Amino acid sequence: DAGVIQSPRHEVTEMGQEVTLRCKPISGHNSLFWYRQTMMRGLELLIYFNNNVPIDDSGMPEDRFSAKMPNASFSTLKIQPSEPRDSAVYFCASSFGTGPYNEQFFGPGTRLTVL
């Protein structure tokens, strides 16, 4: 199994540019999570999907952030326009369902730097 795949692994962009992060969950998993990790705030959930439907987006910081899951094998997180404070590592995770025994498996992350 290839695990959760994220691209790009590193992204450097200038303030005001649009950034799109991509995630391919583990095959067969039907729950997908986007987390953000910063030194100041640690790891925090942004949004999660169950069966391609957004369930909880309360962690999305503001309207500049949007996420989609057009099918079971692909999700995007878009930031438009980007700001320096968006610099962080963005992780995608997936699980098979959301039961009490369902572990979340994380991808390698995308390190975003906004100049």
Partner 1 sequence: KQEVTQIPAALSVPEGENLVLNCSFTDSAIYNLQWFRQDPGKGLTSLLLIQSSQREQTSGRLNASLDKSSGRSTLYIAASQPGDSATYLCAVIMDTGRRALTFGSGTRLQVQP
Binding site for partner 1 (CB under 8 A): 4, 31, 33, 35, 42-45, 48, 50, 55-56, 59, 91, 93, 98, 100-101, 103-109, 111
Of residues 65 and 91, the one with the C-beta less far from partner 1: 91
Nearer to partner 1, 81 or 104 (CB): 104
Name the residue among 61, 26, 28, 30 with its Cα closest to residue 47.
61
Nearer CB in complex with partner 1: 45/81: 45
For 58, other C-beta atoms within 10 Å of its C-beta total 7
How far apart are CB 55 and partner 1 at their closest, in Å?
A: 8
Residue type at position 76? T
Distance set, CA 12 to CA 3, 33, 39 (Å): 25, 23, 18
Rounded to whole angstroms, the Cα distance separating 81 from 71 reads: 25
User: Closest distance between partner 1 and the C-beta of residue 99, in Å?
Assistant: 9
